[in-house]
Amino acid sequence: MKKIRILSIDGGGIRGILPGTILTYLEKKIQELSQNPDARIGEYFDFVAGTSTGGILGLILLCPDENKKYRFSASDALKLYLDQGDEIFDVTFSDKIKRGGGLFDERYSEKELENALKNYFGELRLSQSLKPCLITSYDIRNRKAHFFTSCDAKSDINDFYFKDVARSTSAAPTYFEPAHIYSIFGTPHTLIDGGVFANNPALCAYSECRKLNFKTELSDEKKPVKPSAKDMLMVSIGTGSVKTPYYFKEFKDAGLIKWVQPLIDIMMSGNSETVDYQLRKIYGTLPGKNSEDYYRIEPLLQNASSEMDKADLPNLKALHEDGLLSVQKFQSQLDEIAAKLVKHH
């Protein structure tokens, strides 16, 4: 029996360059091991989960072309950030004054982001995803977590355009206005960034995969039905650990304005760390080498800013450099992952 290969990518704004760089290396290693220079990383995962920037990356990897082959490589996904990141997170001086740096209005107009997503995804629907996927978002009208899943998208009520899914999962409060989108059926939804509750969506991916019949979903008799942890190879990639310290003397009399940014930082990193802890415990109960099939790759943030929206050209370059340094740090693990992905293909 072949394992279900799961890719999960955290949220983190422009820091998506870090997992994008790591996935580009992983794809090249897969091409080398499989002796197929045209291999795409999307082919070597059976399920993809993503939050915010991770959701955008995941959707890019699952896009079909006109022949229902993988349209984009990992380097194509990385290119979106390197080439258009400074335009997406751009604001004129007059807009900065008008928006009060995010106090009176969102920091950025959604237009550049929406244009970039439209260029990548066109009118592609979630039901056309080449592999099962789960993308997180939060419904602020109905006050509940919203999971976009390609398996549920077989119905028009639960089917959405890729560009709208990507816009919804990345609608970070104070950065972009909420996404007001419609399902293919025509049902309206008002959604924000899934990072408010699941910045690391790996446990969501695990739960979703537990209920799926992968023999049917993938048309592969060697894949399991309703797999448990022992049947899963889980690769979870972060967007750089943020460890800004906050001291009592600075926050003992802090009000709402002072707490907003630290709270976002703490919620995102705290969620990612908690999910990692839970999955390590789950896999730690498995016998033999099955316990070694959970990988958490948390990239380095050495030269680049940890700010999610710092997309000036020097920081884009610094993020790419940090991504390459992370590849060096985790190379043995990445090579091991690539070998397992090819083995269970």
Residue from 162, 161, 164, 158 nearest 191 by CA: 164
46, 159, 193, 309: the active-site residue: 193
Residue 164 bears catalytic tag:
no
Residues 6+ apart with CB under 8 A from 193: 11, 51, 52, 137, 138, 169, 170, 171, 172, 173
Side chain identity, residue 270: G
Is residue 309 a contact partner of residue 107, using CB atoms and an 8 Å limit?
yes
Torsion of CA 133, 135, 141, 142, to 10 degrees: 50
Tokens describing residue 190: 């008002």
Q: Which residue has the tokens 């340094």?
A: 325
Residue 52 bears catalytic tag:
yes
Tokens describing residue 315: 């920081």
8, 46, 52, 293: the active-site residue: 52
- The Cα–Cα gap between 51 and 88 comes to 18
Side chain identity, residue 140: I
What single string gives the DSSP state of each residue in 189-216?
EEEEETHHHHSSTHHHHHHHHTT-BHHH
Catalytic residues: 52, 193
